[in-house]
Structure 1
Amino acid sequence: MRSPLLSTCLTGALALGLVACSAGPARDGGDPVTDPPTGTTGEGHGAVTGAEELAEPRLGLTTIDPSGVVHHLDLLDEGVTELGSVGAPSAVSTDGRYLFAETPDGLEVVDSGVWTWDHVDHFHHYRADPRLLGTVEGDGAATVATTNLSTSGSTGVHFAGSGDAVLLDTEALSRGELRERFRLEGEPGPGMVVPVGSSALVTEGRGDQTTLVGRTADGDETGLREACPHASGTITTRVGAVVGCADGARLATVVDDELVVERIPYPAGSTAAPATSFDNREGRPTVAALAGSEGVWLLDTRARAWTLLPAATPLAHVTAVDDEDQRLLALAQDGRVLVLDGSTGAIEAETAPLVADSLAAGRVPTLIADQQRAYLSAPVEGKLYEIDPADDARVARVFETAAEPAFVAETGR
């Protein structure tokens, strides 16, 4: 395998944020699939009044610095735009269009203005004016759960400080409105609100007594109650919504207009730590998670099956590319980005230690996979890297940043 060294970028940083060096924009057209995306309405194709439909996705990297200033880097023309400011963020979540920034005021929402509508056998790509949408009020850490569609369905938010469970109307977000479908009072502490079609799963209880409760879009109970001890981590795949539990995962889908939850237990005899955070190339059926220090968990939501892979080196993060080669991307604790064989866990390619200083400072970078490229933030180093996993983990482009890219999302996908 080859470990390419990063070529020197001599350009200076623009006042507004980012400068690119090297060449070759990335594009992610998506894969033909057979499963309908969770929450698809079948209407509108993701169009919003005033938005321009594009022939290909307008991918970008939207960043928020420690003070809350938001920048957007267009990966096609490498132009940079300052979108405004939010409060100083402590965490950021995304669905590929919106950034949900946890700030002292609550959860502030940024619309990047670029998105893709997944219509099963083809895709529609849009661009509109980016904007700051306002704040969802709440106390304490905010856990956000999104779907793969940014103009329909719902977005779930749980505030640990108050215990409030909130379901946002995502279609209203696409029109620039913050509208709550429901807000339920709960017990302070960790929790989740997981959107599934027109319904949601809301956690109740704590620890090994945690239960997933089915709720309608109005907040009424559906009658579904499913035990999920130590619920932690959620992601929406091509098949349905995944929730991590101490004894495996719960896969939530809608069957004949009814919310259904299936149990996917860990393999018998497994002693590896449970998955508590999932990541993948957006919408794909397979997701990856760290299995503590023992390796990597892969969950195939189509096959309803787990696979435990050994880790060749200590890892900080892992994500499933879920392409024809079943590759994984991982961030090693020494700062390298690794391309892993999805069947064995073996290292197929690697970069130099690009983010060693960030990891040493406790600033865990963001690693993002799309169909063609991977993107890695380097908060302390002040860079954003574009990596080609299919070409020996070659560093394709480097973007210098004028301010620390504390949080980054790939938008437009």
Structure 2
Amino acid sequence: MAVVMAVAVFVVSYIFIMMEKINRALVALSGGLLLLLTGVYQWEDAVQSYIDWQTVALLFAMMVLVAITKKTGVFTFVAIWLAKTVNGKPVPLLVGIAVLTAIGSALLDNVTTVLLFVPVILTLTDLLKLPAFPYLLTIIFSANIGGTATLIGDPPNIMIGQAVSHLTFVSFIQHTAPISMFLFVIMLFVLILLFRKQLRQIDHEHVKQLMAMDEVSYIKISPLLYQSISILLLTITGFLLHPVFHIDLTLIALCGALLLLIISEKEVDTEAIFQQVEWVTLFFFIGLFMLVGGLEEVGVIDELARGIMWLTEGDMTNTALLLLWTSGLFSGIVDNIPFVAAMIPVIKEFETYGMSNLDPLWWSLALGACLGGNGTLIGASANVVVAGLAESQNKRISFMKFMVYGIPIVILSLLFATIYVYFRYLLPFEQPL
């Protein structure tokens, strides 16, 4: 009965999220509450096991940091500088924001990066009277593909790196960065091809207005400017040094946010900053974790993972490729964070089936989960954040419209990832000793 209830609530909630008739946070939270009322799991289980409070807290901290830094005008400065550098041309602007997002997502995490660049691109598209959707879509895809490249780039990579001690920051650069860079170029080419009609040269009057603007004048020179940029850079440095000092990323972000709130209290109203936090996005995450927690509680996700081993009969090649595609496709349906959390202990159990080297499986899981997040608006944390930021500026991204572009990108990415995984990791297993 519990299995039927958990699956039914998840499916119905997912349908309502796709229909977009009701606020997605209300749908997800209602579904989670229904699981509690029907006894699928207890409140303590939801709070202690299923809701990833670290992810929620990390998002909150970065939203605070960005909200304060935005008051200095630095993001507007970056927006105008970038637009002027490419002379207001839509395609070079798309390429520029994609490169910045991909690099930022590799060096930070993709959630932090989209929090920084979405306000920039919304400012640019309003300024140049360009459609925002192609640029927002590019940011999402670039963030998830760029975040695949490093250990700290995407939450699934962080979770895998914490679970497997020998998979270090350098290991991810060596193994996931090459395919990530290749897929980034392919993705960019495809998007430019698809949106070429919308990315034609804009009106010359808008370009003239842009080139006449003084980007420096938008920066508000005050102690807040130096304080916010310094603490933001310190927070980023803390993220980069995570593999060295092993300080939790959420703790680093919270310390940065709290420190900036304290030292900027005379210039910034704390309550006003809290009002700028994307609370709808945060509560949507909480509800989503509860929905997926119901599937975990009744064993649906675990059975899916164990079914992989049963189908492949322990063959390394078949197991790795099935894991790649299962994690890739399934991560588009549920958020990739709870999915990876459920898969990690299952992969560790594969050692009991005689698999001594699990590295091909870990790389398959990392690639599948990160790349599969591009499938739907709830496939990855960055997607949800971008959708929330866009909606707050009346630039709503339709769930179904996103899927029209997201699913083909995921299929294409997984096809190339399959070739990469097979020739780099699996072919040696098939060679005779």
Q: TM-score, normalised by structure 2?
A: 0.25
Question: Taking structure 1 as the reference length, what is the TM-score of the superposition?
Answer: 0.26
Highest relative contact order (Cα 8 Å, sep 6+), 1 or 2? 2
Question: Counting helix residues as a fraction of each chain, which structure ranks higher?
Answer: 2
The structure with more radius of gyration: 2
- Larger % of strand: which? 1
